[in-house]
């Protein structure tokens, strides 16, 4: 997720059971031109493995060259973005705009496949609009051209996040191809992971928005998949422990001003569902530096009775807001 899935956040997700994580989308052109900002999105370390790197672009040879660069720089898997609905991406013919040109999709996949030996995945939306649903056709193209798995977010570009993801399109695609289909879209709780797998037959599940402030969704899903009957959310001390770890990794990675913005962004989500959290979130939004935020967290910790501390804090499942993909970038 653009502006979200940086190294600190990916590490937290892994520690909670995410088996594969991806960078945010990176411009193929930026990588080919050696643009510093694009290259900085590849920031990673040995604890961040296996790492999927996602690139976007519209020109086959440029995407192929960018893929080669990613492989050379250590990517374990390369993913091509064919689903981003944001105007500034689709106006370049990239992201979801590719779904209007299946021949170009095939050319891109062939060229990228030839340029790398690491696993290749493609992430798509269902199609450009409701009259042009192409998910299964793209899945077939992927299968015939050496793609290792396809990730489907079954909404059209026109839908944005406006209507529910249509999981039946995931089921349809998985029934037509033998490569794994990874389902994505509207997985808001650990239980939704099982629901998606059972109802679509998909071989994997990708979680986006619901992981923000709630990495426990991965451990919860892993436990349910192992047959545990029920899972509880973290207690407040558990939550605070992870928040502090996350924020200190953010501070280690970014200059102060950027670290403050990134921290607030994550923290406001971590504190959803915390009793009387509204005022606290308000004060965090207005904080001018990180020490102020740390003091507020300490106040929260001290204000709790023992009984409250032991109560699991459940993340409010369906209250994941319908963000426009990429619209809330913080950098």
Ligand X SMILES: Cc1cc2nc3c(=O)[nH]c(=O)nc-3n(C[C@H](O)[C@H](O)[C@H](O)COP(=O)(O)O)c2cc1C
Q: Give min distance, CB of 90 to ligand X, in A.
A: 13
Choice between 65 and 186, CB closer to ligand X: 186
Which is the catalytic residue, given 84, 142, 202, 251?
Answer: 84
Choice between 57 and 83, CB closer to ligand X: 83
Encode burial over 97-127: b for 16+ CB neighbours within 10 A, e otherwise. Answer: bbbbeeebbbbbbbbbbebbebbbbbbbbbb
Binding positions for ligand X, rule: CB under 6 A = 1-4, 24-25, 54, 81, 83-84, 123, 153, 184-187, 207-210, 323, 325-326, 328
Q: Give min distance, CB of 227 to ligand X, in A.
A: 24
Choice between 24 and 311, CB closer to ligand X: 24
Q: Give min distance, CB of 318 to ligand X, in A.
A: 11
For the chain, how many helices (H) and strands (E)? Answer: 15, 7
Position with the least CB separation from ligand X: 208
Q: Give min distance, CB of 194 to ligand X, in A.
A: 15
Choice between 233 and 326, CB closer to ligand X: 326
Encode burial over 52-67: b for 16+ CB neighbours within 10 A, e otherwise. Answer: bbbbbbbbbebbbbbb
Strands 181-184 and 149-156: parallel
Catalytic (active site) residue 84 = yes
In terms of Cβ atoms closer than 10 Å to its own Cβ (0-12, 13-18, 19+), residue 12 is buried
Positions annotated as catalytic residues are 84
């Amino acid at each position: 997720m653009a502006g979200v899935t940086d190294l600190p956040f990916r590490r937290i997700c892994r520690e909670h059971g995410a088996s594969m994580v991806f960078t945010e989308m990176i411009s193929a052109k930026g990588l080919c031109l050696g643009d510093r900002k694009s290259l900085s999105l590849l920031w990673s370390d040995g604890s961040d493995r296996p790492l999927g790197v996602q690139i976007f672009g519209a020109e086959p040879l440029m995407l192929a060259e960018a893929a080669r660069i990613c492989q050379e720089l250590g990517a374990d898997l390369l993913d091509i973005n064919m689903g981003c609905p944001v105007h500034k991406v689709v106006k370049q013919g990239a992201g979801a705009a590719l779904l209007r040109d299946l021949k170009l999709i095939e050319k891109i996949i062939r060229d990228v496949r030839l340029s790398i030996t690491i696993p290749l995945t493609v992430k798509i939306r269902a199609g450009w609009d409701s009259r042009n649903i192409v998910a299964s056709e793209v899945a077939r193209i992927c299968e015939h051209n050496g793609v290792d798995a396809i990730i489907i977010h079954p909404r059209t570009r026109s839908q944005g996040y406006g209507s529910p993801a249509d999981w039946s399109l995931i089921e349809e695609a998985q029934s037509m191809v033998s490569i794994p289909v990874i389902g994505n879209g509207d997985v808001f709780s650990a239980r939704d992971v099982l629901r998606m797998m059972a109802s679509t037959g998909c071989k994997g599940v990708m979680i986006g928005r619901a992981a923000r402030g709630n990495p426990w969704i991965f451990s919860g899903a892993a436990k349910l998949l192992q047959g545990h009957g029920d899972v509880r959310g973290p207690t407040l001390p558990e939550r605070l422990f992870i928040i502090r770890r996350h924020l200190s990794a953010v501070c280690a990675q970014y200059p102060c001003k950027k670290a403050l913005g990134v921290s607030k962004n994550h923290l406001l989500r971590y504190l959803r569902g915390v009793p009387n959290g509204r005022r606290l979130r308000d004060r965090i939004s207005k904080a001018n530096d990180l020490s102020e935020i740390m003091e507020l967290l300490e106040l929260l910790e001290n204000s709790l009775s023992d009984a409250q501390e032991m109560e699991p804090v459940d993340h409010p499942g369906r209250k994941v807001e319908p963000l426009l993909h990429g619209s809330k970038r913080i950098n």
